[in-house]
Amino acid sequence: MYLWYVAQWFTCYEGLYHLYKKGHITPETWRPKVDFMVVMLKQPLVEAWWARRMAPFSSDYFDYIEERRLTSEVPVEHKDVIRTLGNVSGAEEGNR
């Protein structure tokens, strides 16, 4: 169930990504979404899901997020979020 929610977030953000690329969303609005995705992709369960490319994302979006995943640092204010979400995803993984 947890990964279903993650997939929905990433799917919604793909639509926003395309609006951002067309200039309809400002960088200030878009950046927190990218930061959130980087935080999510630092979790082993989400990272494994992303690597399998189980969702039908456009190659442009996938490549953009993949580049950010590999090159972006997690913002300091999100480090506690990773710890908390890691506990949630670990519990979910154990319930499969």
pLDDT at 36 (0 to 100): 87
- CA distance readout (Å), 81 to 38, 84, 94: 11, 5, 20
Q: For 6-16, how does the pLDDT look when each residue is reduced to its tens digit (9 = 90+)?
A: 889 899 999 99
Q: Angle formed by the axes of helices 79-94 and 27-41, to 10°?
A: 40
Q: For 33-49, how does the pLDDT look when each residue is reduced to its tens digit (9 = 90+)?
A: 898 888 888 889 999 88
Contact (CB, 8 A) for 40 and 82 = no
pLDDT at 89 > cutoff 80: no
Count of beta carbons in the 10 Å neighbourhood of residue 20: 19
pLDDT at 91 (0 to 100): 45
Q: Is the whole model's pTM more than 0.85, yes or no?
A: no
